[in-house]
């Protein structure tokens, strides 16, 4: 690539409650490890959204979430860029606002950006708070391994025919509409309730997004010897992330205790 890869963290002043800025950082680092030049923008809400190849949206509180949606619709850049093939990763409140409707603090339904054919309503039960594990659904893009993350949301999201679910929930709540699904995908737009942040726990998903944005196909990752528990990691070494994934997935999918807790939470 001759031009740098442009990554924008969308409105970190409104949408960044759950360390979601980490997703942008992780994408930037992994692209740099591939030898790609990167521009990582923290695109605050007081200025127009910059042109970018990848947009990351994170979680936010109810009030700021409404402001973010309104501002993104007025600005128009996100819709235009997504239509032109830019990658969008939308997490939690960000996931809700790239859909068609979402609930605000006032209990009213607000208009979303409309990149995904999903509708979110206020859930009737307690907030979904806790670990999530999911198996990528068959029609999800790429060949992703199990997804792990942490959810914290009050809304339930229903998927329309224009999207496919990102994953089938193995542990936790996810979309919470009774379908047992988590997240939604349409083209190069991915929405999910998983934070942690998402890409820290799921580097394969980060690489898939970079493959899309760079359009240069999957990159061979040199093997690493995970000989020790005490590791100093070097670029392209995912031993730290692998250890984290193993721990989190064991805490949810693997253990008997996890299954018991799963039943209770549902």
Partner 1 sequence: MRFRFAVFTTRAVNATSRRLGRGRGTVAGGRSGLKVDPQLLQHLTASRQVVLVTGTNGKTTTTRLLAVALGAGGATVVSNETGSNMPPGHVAALAGDRRATVAVLEVDEIYLPRVLSATNPAAVVLLNLSRDQLDRTNEVRMVSGHWRAALAAAPHATVVANADDPLVVWAAGAAAQVRWVGAGLRWQLDAVGCPSCEGRIAFDAAGSWACVTGCGFVRPDPSVTMSTGGEATGGEATCGEPTGGESTGGEATGGASATTYYGEWADGRSERIRLLLPGRFNHSNALMAAVAAEAMGIAVADGLAAMADVGEVAGRFTTRLVNGVRTRLMLAKNPAGWSELLDLVGNDDGPIVISINARTADGADPSWLWDVPFERLARRVVVATGDRCRDLSVRLHYAGVAHVMESDPLAAVRIAHDGHDGHDGHDGYDGYDGAKRAERDGGDDADRTDRERVDVIGNYTAFAELLQASVPAPVGT
Q: What amino acid positions are annotated as catalytic residues?
A: 92, 195
Shortest approach of partner 1 to residue 105 CB, angstroms? Answer: 9
**Tokens representing residue 103 in the block:** 């609930």
Q: For partner 1, which is the closer residue by CB, 73 or 244?
A: 244
Work out how close the CB of 22 gets to partner 1 at its nearest, in angstroms, rounded to a whole number: 3
The CB-of-29 to partner 1 minimum distance in angstroms stands at 5
252 is written with which tokens? Answer: 């949810």
Instruction: Name the phi and psi angles at 101, rounded to 5.
Output: -140, 155
Smallest Cα–Cα separation from 202: which of 143, 140, 131, 147?
147
Nearer to partner 1, 131 or 207 (CB): 131
Q: 32 CB contacts (<8 Å, ≥6 apart)?
A: 38
Burial of 105 (0-12, 13-18, 19+ CB in 10 A): exposed
- Measured from the CB atom, the residue of 32 and 79 that comes closer to partner 1 is 32
Burial state string for 185-223 with b = 16 or more CB within 10 A and e = fewer than 16: bbbbbbbbbbbbbbbbbbbbbbbbbbbbbbeeeeeeeee
Pairing of strands 101-103, 109-111: antiparallel
Minimum distance from CB of 153 to partner 1 (Å)? 9
Judged by CB, which is closer to partner 1: 62, or 75? 62
Which residue, 13 or 211, is less far from partner 1 as judged by CB? 13
Least distance in Å: CB of 136 to partner 1?
21
CA distances 235 to 27, 32, 35, 105, 144, Å, are 13, 9, 11, 42, 21
DSSP secondary structure code for residue 252 in this structure: I
Interacting residue ranges for partner 1, rule: CB under 8 A: 12-14, 16-22, 25-26, 29, 45-46, 61-64, 66-67, 127, 129-131, 150, 152, 195-197, 200-201, 228-234, 237, 240-241, 243-244, 247
């Amino acid at each position: 690539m001759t031009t740098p890869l442009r990554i924008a963290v969308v409105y970190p002043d409104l949408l960044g409650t759950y360390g979601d800025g980490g997703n942008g950082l992780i994408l930037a680092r992994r692209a740099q490890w591939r030898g790609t030049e990167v521009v990582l923008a923290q695109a605050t809400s007081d200025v127009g959204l910059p042109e970018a190849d990848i947009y990351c949206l994170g979680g936010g509180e109810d009030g700021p979430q409404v402001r973010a949606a309104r501002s993104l619709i007025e600005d128009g850049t996100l819709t235009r860029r997504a239509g032109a093939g830019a990658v969008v990763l939308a997490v939690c409140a960000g996931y809700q606002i790239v859909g068609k409707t979402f609930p605000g603090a006032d209990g009213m339904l607000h208009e979303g950006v409309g990149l995904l054919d999903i509708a979110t309503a206020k859930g009737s039960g307690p907030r979904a708070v806790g670990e999530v594990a999911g198996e990528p659904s068959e029609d999800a893009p790429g060949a992703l391994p199990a997804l792990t993350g942490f959810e914290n949301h009050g809304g339930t999201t229903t998927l329309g025919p224009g999207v496919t679910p990102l994953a089938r929930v193995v542990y936790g709540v996810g979309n919470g509409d009774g379908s047992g699904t988590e997240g939604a995908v349409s083209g190069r737009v991915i929405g999910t309730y998983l934070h942690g942040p998402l890409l820290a726990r799921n580097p394969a998903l980060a690489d898939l997004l970079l493959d899309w944005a760079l359009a240069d196909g999957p990159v061979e990752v040199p093997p690493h010897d995970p000989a020790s528990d005490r590791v100093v990691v070097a670029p392209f070494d995912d031993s730290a992330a692998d250890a984290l994934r193993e721990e989190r997935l064991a805490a949810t999918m693997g253990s008997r205790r996890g299954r018991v807790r799963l039943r209770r939470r549902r």
